[in-house]
């Protein structure tokens, strides 16, 4: 559905591209064989693949997980509004394309800290009345949730799916990402969902993890692989959807059972408790 979008376009800062600094959105685009990247991004991706040869496979598996979760949320859970935080450069199988198969009127807001991502997303959306992209920093969730575009497209009284897919590992512990996710959860209506995938350190050899961290140390954001235990803490207060917190390739993908290890991303979906079913923790 297209026309004149009724919300004020969110401010997008000037691109101010420094193509000599590897950018986390564009490194990921390289891993997915995308075309929206520069030499510094490709060099960073090459170094990452030297350290962690499974990184490109894991990026594709993460993208496939995202697609399966949106299918689950739209078809089985009946979710009709989605907020995709740290959405990344548009690629195949974007959230609105999957959600709107179940319901063409499903609302989707994309947000990202990277102006280039927002410009690309807006170009793809071309004045959709149900989908928008906005520039926002996950570290300021209260600002994000009060933006006009969110207040127009997202009904705060209805269940919402918040997607935090492959983004929380760009926030160091000093940002307290657990507290940030808790602030998001507090804004969600009962029966909402939080989808998280996160780079896990448990199965990466220590030296490979060190080299990968070094690649991101010189990039637009640091990369922080976390233990499965630390990733599980993001879901506190939520009811886990089966099969719980697992390797991205293992989340509701029986056809992928027995895929090669190591697991580089842990992933899961939690649901905010329904009234009368408060959790004990």
Residues making contact with ligand SAM (CB under 6 A): 24-25, 28, 62-63, 66, 85-88, 112-114, 117, 137-139, 165-167, 170, 221
Cβ distance to ligand SAM smaller for residue 41 or 130: 41
Among residues 66, 120, 102, 50, the alpha carbon closest in space to that of 265 is found at 66
| Least gap, CB of 59 to ligand SAM (angstroms) | 8
The 10 Å Cβ neighbour count of residue 192 is 23
C-alpha to C-alpha distance for 44 and 46, rounded to whole angstroms: 5
Cβ distance to ligand SAM smaller for residue 28 or 193: 28
Cβ distance to ligand SAM smaller for residue 153 or 221: 221
| Least gap, CB of 118 to ligand SAM (angstroms) | 9
**Tokens (6 digits) for 266:** 């842990």
The 10 Å Cβ neighbour count of residue 54 is 17
| Least gap, CB of 196 to ligand SAM (angstroms) | 10
The 10 Å Cβ neighbour count of residue 281 is 6
The 10 Å Cβ neighbour count of residue 26 is 28
Among residues 215, 224, 218, 197, the alpha carbon closest in space to that of 49 is found at 215
| Least gap, CB of 278 to ligand SAM (angstroms) | 30
**Tokens (6 digits) for 41:** 């991004």
| Least gap, CB of 2 to ligand SAM (angstroms) | 24
To 10 degrees, the CA torsion angle through 140, 141, 144, 146? -110
| Least gap, CB of 82 to ligand SAM (angstroms) | 12
| Least gap, CB of 168 to ligand SAM (angstroms) | 9
Cβ distance to ligand SAM smaller for residue 153 or 163: 163
Cβ distance to ligand SAM smaller for residue 5 or 144: 144
Cβ distance to ligand SAM smaller for residue 14 or 258: 14
- Could you give the 3-state DSSP secondary structure of residue 249? helix
Among residues 205, 216, 172, 224, the alpha carbon closest in space to that of 48 is found at 216
Cβ distance to ligand SAM smaller for residue 166 or 264: 166
The residue number with the shortest CB distance to ligand SAM is 88
C-alpha to C-alpha distance for 90 and 94, rounded to whole angstroms: 7
């Amino acid at each position: 559905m297209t026309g004149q979008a009724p919300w004020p376009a969110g401010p997008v800062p000037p691109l101010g591209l420094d193509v000599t600094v590897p950018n986390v959105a564009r490194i990921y685009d390289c891993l997915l064989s995308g075309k929206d990247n520069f030499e510094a991004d490709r060099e960073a991706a090459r170094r990452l693949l030297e350290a962690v040869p499974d990184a490109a496979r894991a990026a594709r598996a993460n993208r496939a997980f995202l697609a399966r979760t949106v299918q689950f949320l739209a078809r089985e859970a009946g979710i009709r509004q989605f907020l995709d935080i740290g959405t990344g450069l548009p690629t195949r199988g974007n959230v609105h394309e999957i959600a709107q198969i179940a319901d063409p009127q499903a609302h989707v807001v994309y947000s990202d800290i990277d102006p280039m991502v927002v410009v690309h997303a807006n170009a793809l959306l071309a004045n959709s009345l149900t989908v928008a992209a906005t520039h926002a920093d996950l570290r300021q969730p209260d600002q994000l949730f009060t933006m006009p575009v969110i207040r127009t497209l997202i009904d705060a009284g209805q269940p919402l799916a918040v997607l935090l897919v492959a983004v929380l590992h760009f926030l160091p512990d000093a940002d307290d990402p657990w507290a940030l996710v808790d602030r998001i959860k507090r804004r969600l209506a009962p029966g909402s969902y939080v989808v998280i995938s996160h780079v896990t350190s448990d199965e990466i050899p220590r030296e490979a993890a060190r080299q990968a961290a070094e690649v991101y140390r010189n990039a637009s954001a640091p990369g922080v692989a976390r233990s499965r235990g630390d990733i599980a803490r993001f879901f506190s207060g939520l009811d886990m959807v089966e099969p719980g917190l697992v390797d991205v390739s293992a989340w509701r993908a029986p056809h992928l059972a027995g895929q090669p290890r190591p697991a580089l991303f842990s992933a899961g979906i939690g649901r905010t408790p329904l009234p009368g079913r408060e959790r004990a923790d």
